[in-house]
Amino acid sequence: MVKLLDVKAIESTKPIVLMIVVQSIYAVVNVMFKMVANEGSNLSVLVAYRYVISSAITLPIALFFERNSLRNLSGKVMFQAFLCGLFGGSLQQNLYLKSLALVPATYTTTMLNLIPATTYVIAVSLRMEKPNLGTLGGKAKLIGTFGGIGGAMILTLYEGKRLFNWSMHIDLLQRYKTLPLHDSSTASHVLGFMLAFLTSLSFSLWFITQSKMSQNFPWHYSIAALTSIMAAIQSIVFVLCTERDWNQWKLDWNLGFLTSALSGVFSSGLCFILIAWCVRLKGPLFVSAFNPLMLVLVVLIASFILDEYITIGSLIGGVLIVCGLYLILWGKSREARDVDNMNGNEILSTKDSVQCDSNHIANSSLTCIQNDHDKNIANAAHNVSLDGNTT
């Protein structure tokens, strides 16, 4: 019994650990893209290479482990894969990088923390997630969602007093400084905020679409491969339409090449597989709840290698993000426990009804047997009396 409980506990914590791994990878890649953007590289070309590399990684894995999934490919699945590649790949990445060029990265990252809220609203609107505001679990999910968003806003918008840092005296941004990336005009700032909001909306639509796709096509390796292939095709078409200089496609052995390779293998290849698995198992809201965690990790990484300080704002925001994440996870687990208890009660009531029916049947059978026995005795007595009269 104890071993069964241990196995169940390990299985329940596996999605949490995997999503922490995903956000850790995203945080490292985010810092690398910041350095590449500061260097002045063409980020759209790097995005295209990223998804080409991701396709080269995920496609053989899908063919090896899920070859039978090819039989279930349909027009609907391919269209959903196209939308996943669009919302989770080409469109989302290019919107994000364009917003980085127009407004400071802190404001862009702030808008990305709307992902849990937008995912929650869309999932409830499509009846994929029940709000259950009358239950403790539903209230915890709602409070945790907006608590995490509030913490992310504080972390990025309020700096406060510098507290400490764990600097290793390696300021990597000093090695990749070029001209300022941001346009100071008001119109550009408004456009940048709109693009950042569309990025968060694109993330949410990706999670929702992938959840729908996994219902008809429950193979996470194949979903990751199809998403990467669609994103690669779309990104290449976008670059060919917007970039006329063929020299931009040349990659040297520098930070840009390293960023494309690592983001293709880990951020898109590995993370796409893990996200597809977690979305199919836990739903889109569970996956989106971990997005604010990336901000905390970026702050820590920046403190180590970018010589940035931990401030009061980052500390308070980080605590709120972690507490909000805990509330969402607790709410989901509470709802799952309530569902299990409800199913258990239904099973017990079914067993009781079956037992009552069996007792009723047994009693009816005994009554019939007793009646037959009484009839036999009466017939025997009647026969004996007839024999006596005859003699």
For residues 92 and 202, the answer to whether their CB atoms sit within 8 Å is yes
Residue 101 CA: distances (Å) to CA of 50, 132, 155, 266: 19, 41, 21, 24
List Cβ neighbours of 376 (8 Å cut-off, separation of 6 or more): none
pLDDT at 378 exceeding the cut of 70: no
Radius of gyration of the chain (CA): 31
Please tell me the predicted confidence (pLDDT) of residue 341: 72
Segment 82-102 shows an average pLDDT of 87
SS3 content of the chain, % helix, strand, coil (to 5): 85, 0, 15
Q: Where in the chain does DSSP place strands (E)?
A: 162-164, 310-311
What percent of the chain is predicted at pLDDT more than 70?
69
The overall average pLDDT reported for the chain is: 75
Question: At 389, is the secondary structure helix, strand, or coil?
Answer: helix
List Cβ neighbours of 310 (8 Å cut-off, separation of 6 or more): 162, 163, 164, 165, 299, 303
Question: At 163, is the secondary structure helix, strand, or coil?
Answer: strand
Please tell me the predicted confidence (pLDDT) of residue 237: 93
- Nearest Cα to Cα of residue 221 among 15, 74, 67, 83: 67
pLDDT at 168 exceeding the cut of 60: no
Structure tokens at 160: 């406060």
Residue 213 CA: distances (Å) to CA of 93, 272, 284, 313: 21, 14, 12, 39
pLDDT at 172 exceeding the cut of 60: no
Angle at 63 between CA 62 and CA 65, to 5 degrees: 65
- 8-52, pLDDT tens digit by residue? 666 678 888 888 898 888 888 877 877 777 676 778 888 899 999
pLDDT band at 233 (very low <50, low <70, confident <90, very high): very high
What percent of the chain is predicted at pLDDT more than 90?
13
Q: What is the DSSP string of 31-98?
A: HHHHHHHHHT--HHHHHHHHHHHHHHHHHHHHHHH-GGGGGG--HHHHHHHHHHHIIIIIHHHHHHHH
Segment 243-272 shows an average pLDDT of 82
- 310-335, pLDDT tens digit by residue? 677 767 877 787 787 778 778 877 77
For residues 164 and 309, the answer to whether their CB atoms sit within 8 Å is yes
For CA atoms 220, 223, 224, 225, the dihedral sign is positive
Question: Looking at per-residue confidence, does 107 or 122 come out higher?
Answer: 122
Question: Looking at per-residue confidence, does 102 or 45 come out higher?
Answer: 45
pLDDT at 286 exceeding the cut of 70: yes
To the question of pTM greater than 0.85 for the whole model, the response is no
Segment 91-117 shows an average pLDDT of 75
